Structure 1
């Protein structure tokens, strides 16, 4: 069994790791790295410890040793829970992956679920649910309610709350079971299920247990696609889920470039408008409306995003 992120399984190693953390928090990453290295001599199989060691080394300006430490994380972390390859990509040691490992995303949000809303809404001024639902309302106007909406990457249900009043049936899917449990507490979904948007239709979980294809006339993905680099799989699923004429309301982080996408220091992906438009067309959608806006704060700085309303072509 792999030692947990919080404990190496060795009391003395844990104590040194705690002191290392305090040194890092006090602004001395070089000293933190030195003490963390001593902890790892006692617990060399602690993948999370190597990850912390890499972080301290990077902050201390020792990129070469940080890369070496991340290689050790890769060696120990067969399930890719810690996303070492993403961090290696930011350091220029490997090519940028087209998507993060599913287990990394799942573990990230399982751990984050209990404090997700407090962190995102109260401290980071997260505003995608309100802004995206307002854009959808402006485009949809006074048309009748949607028959069936599928909320992809529903998280704790923040966007579900916003659209519940305009849909007759609301389904929510997420990779994290802990996020799904939080969404269930809101009582706004008619169905909640686990799904992986990085997989094909058969593997995704979106069409299991008798769930039909082409069933939705509204698809939503609020603050979801930034956890996918290449959008082909997710948009293929959107095509499989949607009926002709269905609306797809979603957000991306704005790459601020004319084309392509990139991996940001936050380990989220940012996409250009041109890239998203091209992928939508290839998947059978056309863009009906967009809005550029600030979607959250990160490190005290605003994060720019693009909100899209797309229509599924017949």
Structure 2
């Protein structure tokens, strides 16, 4: 937070910070986020699924991975389109809330990049989501590489994520005074091309409200080329 206020560079938020932050917010997380900050990404992801994810029918073997799954809001939106969903999150207390929804067949407490790189559960996923997750990660190269590896064997696979939008395309990412990261479209498109993805959908959206003002962002859908 000191670095964010001073405008100093930091590649990502420390795992200990994220875990402690969300453990403390878990019980009231959905009320605060949805009712007070007007968080609308789960609803928008659900609407996107109707048009973009119909090629992932509910069938044996269609498995989704929800990175930074939190209390399961995105899992709820995606459940009709896949047979099985796995969730990963640093916060045990957030996972406890997600478990109550009975959406996920597997819930793992851990770092999302370590989970992807360790080939945990030995699964090749048809859909990987990271919604409102990259706000805690600045550098995304390793993450994109790991996602591409986990999608590589799946036919018609999809990587769906959101970011807070950084308007300056000359800058890859920036740590904001809120302690969250914003990313530029130029950076995301460059990473997509470098890791074999085709950008199939870019949707400008408001992520949530901050002091009564909408926070600009985008939802992106990538397919392996």
User: Take 1:308 and 1:137, find their aligned partners in 2: how far apart are those partners?
Assistant: 15
Which ranges of structure 2 fall in alignment gaps of 5 or more residues?
A: none
Matched residues in 2 for 1:133 and 1:256: separation? 26
Give, in whole Å, the separation in 1 of the partners of 2:129 and 2:117: 20
Distance in 2 (alpha carbons) for counterparts of 1:165 and 1:135: 12
1:267 shift after superposition:
0.5
Deviations 1:6-31 (A, max 9, x none): xxxxxxxxxxxxxxxxxxxxxxxxxx
Taking structure 1 as reference, are residues 143 and 168 closer, same or farther at Cα in structure 2, changes over 3 Å only? Answer: closer
Q: Which has the higher helix share?
A: 1
Aligned with residue 12 of structure 2, among 95, 99, 105: 99
Instruction: Within 5 Å, give how 1:80-229 maps onto structure 2.
Output: 86-92=1-7, 95-141=8-54, 144-145=57-58, 147-199=62-114, 201-202=116-117, 207-208=119-120, 211-213=121-123, 215-229=124-138
Corresponding residue of 2:163: 252
- 1:248 Cα offset (Å): 0.8
Unmatched runs of 5 consecutive residues or more in structure 1: 1-85
Q: Secondary structure at the match of 1:216?
A: coil
* 1:253 counterpart SS class: strand
Runs of 4+ that moved beyond 3 A: 198-203
Whether the aligned pair in 1 keeps the contact of 2:3 and 2:10 (CA below 8 Å) is no
- Structure 1 residues 165 and 154, CA gap change in structure 2 (3 angstroms): same
Larger Rg: 1
Higher relative contact order, chain-length normalized (CA < 8 Å, sep 6+): 2
TM-score (norm 1): 0.66
Q: Kindly report the root-mean-square deviation, in angstroms, between the aligned alpha carbons of the 2 structures.
A: 1.8
SS of aligned partner of 2:148: helix
What residue is the counterpart of 1:79 in the other structure? none
Residue correspondences, number: 220
The TM-score with structure 2 as length reference comes to 0.91
Alpha-carbon spacing, 1:89–1:226, altered in 2? closer, same or farther (3 Å): closer
Q: Quick one: distance in 2 between partners of 1:134 and 1:195?
A: 29
Aligned residues of 2:164 and 2:183 also touching (Cα < 8 A): yes
